[in-house]
Structures are given as structure tokens and as C-alpha cells.
């Protein structure tokens, strides 16, 4: 069973079990686990799989036909799409699943594919077609316009999102929780990337062997992700590198890059459509005057890691060993890098505990508050407005009472009434803070082993 995909499997099976034929679009980033999910889905079903290429319609049909011929099907050397679909369904004694991976390449090459596919589905009651794609931006912003009337024939859309932190702990039983958080900070919730790490090695050894080694798959993966669907990569690289270096506001990017604000905004929009960058919206409170606006952040963990540590130091990466590069460029600020993703892990735990009824409130909204003077890592409220706030300490060996007081100061600036306070820390808590938690029932201290 693939990890963490029960709801997605249930969704696909619900369409398979319905009467008649269906066309379902399944999409998500490369390495997010689409193939593993579909492999699991068709395990007990008759199915056919085709991986489309970037080619003309004629070449696509030729290649697809050749694959079918190798499976002992009789088909013309240059078949039409209709002939291909018919050949795929001829031997089906039960409902058959036809998976067409990276189907955007076929659609972009001409109009025949969707016309003949919809005609085939309408005349066949025993087929489920899954159109799969790694091109998120095209699916969400360009596909409907491209396929026109054929869009009405689509039965459903399933977006495969990154897995949460808990799945990493299942995938890497040999890692401690602290190590799993470090891996999550580097690779995110992408099972296709996890496959390149080994929990018999330390996280540091994995980074040196499987990212910093020139012969490793992940060595150029950060750049590949950017280049996959973007032109003018010099502009995108410049913007991503600047954000990774801490220039999170439009004006900071303008001053650093020299690009016009209008140009930067357009490129940021494209990066957001591809889910590589997000615009951070601070939790809505009455303290709007003290809230920062227009903050941009890299959302893809591996792209963030690449542009934080590798991209600005490519010359050294070429000449140093992986171990020497790690010591010089990664080790000094790695804990600070991981600290940002520890906040995400804490947020996921708050959501999980709410679902399991282990919080004093039932969370209706959750987010963060980004202030001009400081931040609140977690803000959660229920429908009645009861509020839980929290901060997450990763990079300091001890959370101090001063950190708690600073959180209360930020809450005052945000103008929110605080009902409950949760403090997360990978290290220990100052004794004064432990005593405070024993006195105040609304203050909870959470150590890593309690998560």
C-alpha cells in the first residue's frame, strides 16, 4: 500500500465502480507519487499504460501503435487515435483502465486526440481513462481553453499533493524524529525524492552522497524542476536565488535584481502558478497596522534547499568534495534552514490533534501572523473565535521565558485575545517556563518526543 494515499485511492475507485465510462484527470508535481498511486489503483484491474512524448500527432500514434503491436495486437503502422483506443479495448472482458501519462504533450500537438478519445468513451461503457500530467500550471490555467468542448466530457479531477510529515516517519523507520524533520526540510513531501535517501546513513551523509555528488540523481534536480516548464530561466533563477537569500518583499527583489517591479510581479505569478513560490498572507487580525504584507516564500522544499545552498556556490560545488562543501556552506546555517520547516511540522500536528479531539478547541482556521516586529508561528481559531497561538523553537538549545514573553508581545501587536498557548521545542525549556506552565493551565510545553 502506498503511504498516505487512502483518500486518493477511494476517489479513483469511486469512479471505477460507477456505471459507464469515465475520463478522470490526475495531476501533480513530478516525484509527488502519481505513478505509485496509479500502480496501486490498477493492481487488481485490467489496464493499459502509455507514457506520451513531446512529438507530433503522427509520431505519437506511431510510437503508441508500436507499443501495442509488441503486445500482440494487430494495428496499422501509423494508426489513428481511434484505432489505438479500439485495439486497447478489444480484449477487455471487464472494465479496463487506460492510463495516458503526460497527456499534455498529445493535446498540445493537435486537436485529434481529445475528439477521438471522447467519441471512444461515449461509445464504450467498459472503460475508465486516466489522463495523467505533471504540468500543474497547464492543467489549472490552460487545459480547458485548449480542449474546448471536450472539457464537458471530463468526469473528475484529482490533484495529488505532497504528503505530510507523518508519512516520512513511516517511510524512514531508521531515522529519529529529529532526522525525519531534517529530511522533510530538504526533500519535502515528495516520495520520488525520498527514494534516493537511505535511513541507514545520517542526514548529513545522505546530503553528501545523494545531493552533492555529481553522479547522483539529485545533484541537478533543483535546477531541473525550474527548467521543466519555464523559459527565461536566467530571470527565474535570479528571483528564486534572491528569495532563498532572504529577500522576501517585492521592493527587496527590485533593489537586488534591477528588474522592474512589473516584471518581477509577472514572473512571481508564474512561479506561484507552478507552486514553486507562495505569497504569504498573514492571519487576519485587528492588528493590521503591525502586519507585514507582500511577503514571498519558496514553497518547494528541494528548490528552496537548492537555491539556498547549492546555486550560489556552484563553483565550489564543482571543485570541493561533498563533505568539504557541506562543512563550508551547509553546516553553518542548516539548523536555521530546518527551523522554518519545523513550523510546518508543528502546524500539521495541531491540525492532526484537532481532528483527533486532543485540543481544547476544534480548529476551524489556522495560519501564521507575520508582523513588523516579530512573528507568531501558529494561530488557530475555532468557529466561536477561541484562539490558540504558538511558537516553534528548533535552532536554540533551550526555549527561554523571554521567548514566551515575546510571543505575548506579538499577540498584543496583532490585537488578538489569547485563550491557549502552545510552545514547541526540539530542545529543553527554561526552568522558569516549566514552572509557569504548571501554574497556567492554558500554557502547554511540547517537547519533540511528545509529538
Give me the DSSP letters along 252-283: HHHHHH---HHHHHHHHHHHHHTTSEEEE---
Q: Confidence class of residue 262 from pLDDT cuts 50, 70 and 90? A: very high
Which pLDDT tens digit goes with each residue over 323-359?
A: 999 999 999 999 999 999 999 999 999 999 999 999 9
- Confidence (pLDDT) at 430: 97
With both helix axes pointing from N to C terminus, report the angle between 431-439 and 401-414 in degrees, rounded to the nearest 10. 60
| pLDDT tens column, 371-384 | 988 999 999 999 99
- For every residue of 317-370, DSSP letters joined together read HHHS-HHHHIIIIIGGGHHHHHHHHHHHHHHHHHHHHHHTT-SSS--SEEEEEE
At 134, is the pLDDT very low, low, confident or very high (cuts 50, 70, 90)?
very high
Check pLDDT > 70 for residue 90. no
Predicted TM-score of the model (pTM): 0.92
- Does residue 450 surpass a pLDDT of 90? no
Q: Pairing state of beta strands 295-298 and 96-101?
A: unpaired
pLDDT digits (tens, 9 = 90+) for 276-322: 999 998 888 887 888 888 899 999 999 999 999 999 999 999 999 99
Q: How many CA atoms lie within 13 A of 216 on its CB side?
A: 18
Residue range 176-190: average pLDDT? 97
pLDDT of residue 74: 77
Is residue 1 scored above 60 in pLDDT?
no
Q: Which three cell numbers stand for residue 331?
A: 553546516
Task: List the strands of the sheet with 127-133, edge to edge.
Answer: 46-51, 96-101, 127-133, 22-27, 156-159
The CB density around residue 5, as the number of other CB atoms within 10 Å, is 21
| pLDDT at position 222 over 60 | yes
pLDDT reported for residue 288:
83
Residue range 181-205: average pLDDT?
97
Average pLDDT, the chain: 94
Characterise 161 by phi-psi region: left (phi > 0), alpha (psi -120 to 50), beta (else): beta
Question: What are 378-386's contacts with CB under 8 Å, separation 24+?
Answer: 378/343, 378/346, 378/347, 378/350, 378/422, 379/283, 379/285, 379/414, 379/416, 380/350, 380/354, 386/360, 386/361, 386/419, 386/420
Give pLDDT, residue 286. 84
- Average pLDDT, stretch 62-89? 87
| pLDDT(207) > 90 | yes
Percent of the chain beyond pLDDT 90?
89
d(CA 94, CA 96): 6
Alpha-carbon distance values, 221 to 192, 248, 366 (Å): 11, 23, 32
| Those residues with Cβ within 8 angstroms of residue 69's Cβ, 6 or more apart along the chain or in another chain | 75
pLDDT in tens, 154-170: 999 999 999 999 999 99
Residue 373's pLDDT is 85
Domains of the chain (ranges, CATH numbers): 6-159 (3.40.50.300), 165-337 (1.10.10.10), 342-450 (3.40.1350.10)
What is the pLDDT confidence band of residue 73, given thresholds at 50, 70 and 90? low
pLDDT tens digits, residue range 356-373?
999 999 999 999 999 988
Amino acid at each position: 500500500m502506498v503511504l498516505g494515499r487512502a483518500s486518493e485511492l477511494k476517489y479513483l475507485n469511486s469512479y471505477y465502480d460507477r456505471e459507464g465510462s469515465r475520463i478522470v484527470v490526475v495531476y501533480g508535481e513530478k516525484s509527488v507519487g502519481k505513478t505509485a498511486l496509479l500502480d496501486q489503483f490498477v493492481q487488481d484491474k485490467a489496464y493499459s499504460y502509455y507514457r506520451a512524448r513531446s512529438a507530433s500527432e503522427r509520431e505519437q500514434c506511431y510510437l503508441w501503435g508500436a507499443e501495442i503491436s509488441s503486445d500482440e495486437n494487430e494495428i496499422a503502422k501509423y494508426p489513428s487515435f481511434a484505432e489505438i483506443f479500439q485495439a486497447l479495448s478489444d480484449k477487455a472482458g471487464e472494465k479496463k483502465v487506460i492510463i495516458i501519462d503526460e497527456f499534455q504533450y498529445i493535446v498540445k500537438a493537435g486537436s485529434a486526440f481529445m475528439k477521438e478519445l471522447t467519441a471512444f468513451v461515449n461509445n464504450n461503457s467498459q472503460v475508465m481513462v486516466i489522463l495523467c500530467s505533471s504540468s500543474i500550471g497547464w492543467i489549472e490555467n490552460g487545459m480547458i481553453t485548449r480542449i474546448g468542448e471536450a472539457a464537458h466530457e471530463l468526469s473528475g479531477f484529482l490533484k495529488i499533493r505532497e504528503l505530510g510529515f507523518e508519512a516520512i516517519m513511516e517511510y524512514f523507520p531508521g531515522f529519529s524524529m529529529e532526522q525525519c524533520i531534517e529530511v522533510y526540510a530538504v526533500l519535502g513531501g515528495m516520495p520520488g525524492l525520498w527514494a534516493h535517501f537511505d535511513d541507514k546513513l545520517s542526514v548529513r551523509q545522505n546530503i553528501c552522497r545523494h545531493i552533492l555528488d555529481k553522479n547522483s540523481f539529485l545533484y541537478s534536480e533543483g535546477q531541473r524542476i525550474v527548467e521543466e516548464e519555464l523559459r527565461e530561466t536566467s530571470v527565474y533563477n535570479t528571483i528564486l536565488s534572491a528569495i532563498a537569500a532572504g529577500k522576501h518583499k517585492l521592493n527587496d527583489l527590485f533593489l537586488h535584481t534591477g528588474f522592474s517591479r512589473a516584471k518581477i510581479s509577472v514572473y512571481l505569478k508564474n512561479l506561484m502558478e507552478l507552486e514553486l513560490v507562495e505569497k504569504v498572507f498573514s492571519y487576519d487580525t485587528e492588528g493590521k497596522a503591525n502586519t507585514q504584507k507582500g511577503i514571498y516564500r519558496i514553497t518547494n522544499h528541494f528548490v528552496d534547499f537548492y537555491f539556498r545552498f547549492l546555486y550560489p556556490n556552484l563553483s565550489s560545488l564543482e571543485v570541493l568534495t561533498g563533505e568539504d562543501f557541506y562543512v563550508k556552506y551547509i553546516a553553518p546555517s542548516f539548523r536555521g534552514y530546518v527551523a522554518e520547516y519545523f513550523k510546518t511540522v508543528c502546524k500539521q500536528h495541531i491540525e492532526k490533534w484537532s481532528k483527533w479531539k486532543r485540543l481544547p478547541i476544534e480548529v476551524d482556521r489556522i495560519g501564521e501572523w507575520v508582523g513588523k516586529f516579530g512573528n507568531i508561528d501558529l494561530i488557530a481559531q475555532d468557529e466561536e473565535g477561541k484562539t490558540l497561538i504558538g511558537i516553534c523553537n528548533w535552532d536554540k538549545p533551550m526555549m527561554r521565558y523571554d521567548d514566551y514573553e515575546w510571543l505575548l508581545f506579538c499577540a498584543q501587536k496583532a490585537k488578538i485575545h489569547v485563550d491557549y498557548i502552545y510552545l514547541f521545542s526540539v530542545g529543553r525549556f527554561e526552568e522558569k517556563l516549566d514552572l509557569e506552565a504548571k501554574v497556567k493551565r492554558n500554557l502547554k510545553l511540547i517537547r519533540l518526543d511528545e509529538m
